[in-house]
Structure 1
């Protein structure tokens, strides 16, 4: 794994299955925190021109549609999203894998709605394919804390870097006084606890 930092110039962002039904199954993190973190990632990608790849699974079933806010934030990417039909590992879906390859980036920022299913398998596959992966663990969760902990350990043991939303945004900002940093600051501030 390369020690080079992830930047807006070398990374792509993959948001996996942030669907209204599936999000309701997560219990290891509060719903509103997970949602705010996922949307902050999408907003940051758009603000600093990071390729953003979206996918959903079986939208017409219990999983439901992707968050409506994602359509507002990234209408083009929302329209181009890979709609998987039952394929658990998003990287096993040729449409999604092709979209990842087309980003031209070898560093992947991955956030899936459930770390124990949606995130773990594409992360393991991406690592096997030679990608550098950072998993934004708090932009998803799992139905139980134990399931979340086990998934995070498995991904980390396989070589993924586990990070949080604010930590990742700070890494992408590089310098808060730069143009890029200035674009990211509002998304970080929006995640800070309110008095």
Structure 2
């Protein structure tokens, strides 16, 4: 059996319905970035601040490039105990206001919940510090309420390896779908022949450039 070749492939495949695609698209998901604050970075034990930034900055760049609705939250700033989001992440999200909270579970904060609901999206890409608290608790709550939740595992970390690993297991057993910043970017971009593929290409090159500096 010989396969008939259709010649050089330079055209993108047809775009699937971006609202109803079961995979992530810029039109069907929202991004939650939670507690990327100095105090949280200092307590990391499962990874390094550099590794977290590698993924988290990539995620923030993707949010901005693909215009994905993004919610940025902090804990304890109004209480005077914590500083705001670290500038290297905040700077990638122009115009996005932080929602401060007193609690560790952002889903228990009415303003945060209202912001998520206002996006109208049921696929939620989530990242934050730490995995076992600020990522796990809202993830478990949202899964219960019928959201699909995608923790970005290379943009998060816990106070110990055990804390991080157990939280990933707990979220996955509840139905969460782990991803990484680059996998998410590829899912948004989808096809190198699309006119906007440079949005991802630029972020991808920046990722590997930053990765070389920390490895």
TM-score by length of 1: 0.91
CA RMSD of aligned residues (A): 1.7
Aligned residues: 190
Contact preservation (8 Å) 2:158, 2:164: yes
- Corresponding residue for residue 70 of structure 1: 89
Q: Which runs of 4+ in 1 moved over 6 A?
A: none
* Larger proportion of helix: 1
* Whole-Å separation in 1 of the counterparts to 2:42 and 2:207: 20
* Whole-Å separation in 2 of the counterparts to 1:120 and 1:71: 22
Shift of 1:179: 3.2
- 3-state SS of paired residue (2:83): coil
1:38-57 superposed matches below 5 A: 38-57=56-75
Unaligned 5+ runs, structure 1:
none
Unaligned 5+ runs, structure 2:
1-19
Match of 2:43 among 3, 19, 25: 25
* Whole-Å separation in 1 of the counterparts to 2:143 and 2:100: 23
State yes or no: 1:11 paired with 2:29: yes
Match of 1:35 among 53, 60, 64: 53
Shift of 1:176: 2.6
TM-score by length of 2: 0.83
